[in-house]
Amino acid sequence: MASSREELLRMLAEKSFRLGNFKLSSGGTSDYYIDCRLTTLDAQGALLTGETVLHEIHSRGWHADAIGGLTMGADPIVVATSVISAQQRKPINGFLVRKAEKTHGTGQRIEGFREKPARVVIVDDVCTTGASTIQAIEAAREYGFEIVGVMCLVEREEAGGRPNVEKAASPAPFVALFTANDVRAAHIKNPPPPIFAVSAKCDFCDRPAVTNTPGYRCEVHRAS
């Protein structure tokens, strides 16, 4: 039987990885795109995510009181891991970091677990430049949490992401469950079956559609 980690990689390759021409949030472009939320918000994918992240935390001896990250890439990872930890009777609570403080109510930026002092793990889905991960690190430390580890599901290994996060996280270690090359290799090895459209045109141009998922797409725009 495949491990949760192996199954998570397979699902990321099948559901979250696409080849094509994409503009990234960092402003750059890429010939591939990874949307981890298609996996982490899938019922089975959430289970695999929680099991894999929790196992990594335990195997590294981080002894965390809570796990959290910047909304919204971290949200499903945080919830899945917290739920699995409770099932294993070793609860790790969850918190989320807002991109900016609320302008109403208590005006807080940390939502959920807020006890101090606490040892916490910061998580993110994809690390490119590391900007969202660093925001979460800075907000957690400013609040008073002790960061014992930083983790992402997929590291793109570009745009200086790793050194940026390592510098911000120090002395806490930064680890990636997978690299983009890991996911790409798994995607190429077992590509998802195409779903063909019938007598339809592409949503982006007048070419014949070759797939109807997530919408009518031609061969050029099928990864859009």
- The Cα–Cα gap between 203 and 152 comes to 34
Residues 81 and 163 in one domain: yes
Residues 125 and 210 in one domain: no
Residues 31 and 76 in one domain: yes
Residues 52 and 113 in one domain: yes
Dihedral angle sign, alpha carbons of residues 150, 169, 96, 94: positive
CATH of the domain at 181: 3.40.50.2020
Residues 169 and 200 in one domain: no
Residues 184 and 204 in one domain: no
Residues of the chain scoring pLDDT < 70? 1-2, 26, 102-107, 192-199, 213-214, 223-224
Which structural domain, as residue segments, surrounds residue 127? 4-189
pLDDT, tens digit (0-9, with 9 covering 90-100), for 167-206 = 999 999 999 999 999 999 999 998 766 655 456 788 888 8
Task: Please check whether residue 71 is in contact with residue 44, taking contact to mean a CB–CB distance below 8 angstroms.
Answer: no
